[in-house]
Structure 1
Amino acid sequence: MTIDRFGTKEFMDVKPNNTDIRRDLVSLLPRLRRFALVLAQNGAKADELVSKVCGQALLKAPFQDAEDRLDLRLFGAICSLWRTEIRKKKASNETVVCLHSAATSSPQLPMILSAELAAAFLLCAVEELSYREAAAVMATTEDSIAETVLAARRELAIVTESEAERRA
């Protein structure tokens, strides 16, 4: 708010500087898509999630705190949107495909872990987020993330052992 030469208060319009967020969004796109793929286990659905979240981020950019990490905010938004869509499918009695069967029917995405295990593992092991940051993204506790990552590592170790046995 400023005071003009007549002594009246003027409210400055919020003029977004979308240049910075657009540049940041472009650099984050591969990471966002990878995370969305882990959750959705479908390329088209992952692209839709990323598109919606990026659109929301552009609209909310002028009102966001510059101190917040954009990547964490967007990962959280993708996770939230994905969970909302899963709830909508269940509420409308649509057939919700089992994640493991969807993964095996799609040759392009050979998923070994469930979406929740894979998402927690991706955030902590690949994206190198702390358990606290991953918990904020997944809207859960740090202990839950630690348990989920441990379970994912165990499942991956079992798969690795069975692969080694098959090769021998």
Structure 2
Amino acid sequence: MEAIEYDEHYTLEDYRRWEGEWELIEGRPYAMSPAPGITHQRISFMITRLLTDSLQKDGCENCFAVQDIDYEISDDTVVRPDVALICDQYGEKVTKAPEIVFEIISSSTARRDETVKFEIYRREGVRYYVLVYPSLKTAKIYGFHEDGSYRKMADVQRENFSFELRKCRIDMEFSAIWPENI
């Protein structure tokens, strides 16, 4: 007798009942890493602060930066970006593509962030996807192209980068996100 392959498929309703920290990607649960370390937290805070400062300076209305919030994509996919810039989102849930997503890469998240989430954010039309590598003090910035692909726009360490959004522009000085002791 041949073994029958069984693959459990979970939904958003299942996800909402789980304890602990999870992401749900196309019906498959992924346990989140233990709480982020100090370097991760400092970088996340600085990214959020720089985005917020730029939003206020440039008058971007209805846009704000959030950390570690569930982005509910479909009935079987929920991801949690480290930092996201969202515009024109109302209510308590993020249900449409953020303008910018930042993922801070660690050895335990690198593969998922660089492949699976890269593809999800591309498919959903996230305008910019930024992979932040603390150990290298480098951020890789990908921009959504009109043909539906992501194109690498820059590798930045200490440079400034301007994110061109639908309603405004965000200028970000990447030298400010790196803690001195890493």
Same fold judged by TM-score > 0.5? no
Q: Hey, which of these two has a bigger chunk of strand by percent?
A: 2
Which has a greater percent of helix?
A: 1
TM-score (normalised: structure 2): 0.27
Bigger Rg, which one: 1
**Normalised by the size of structure 1, how large is the TM-score?**
0.29
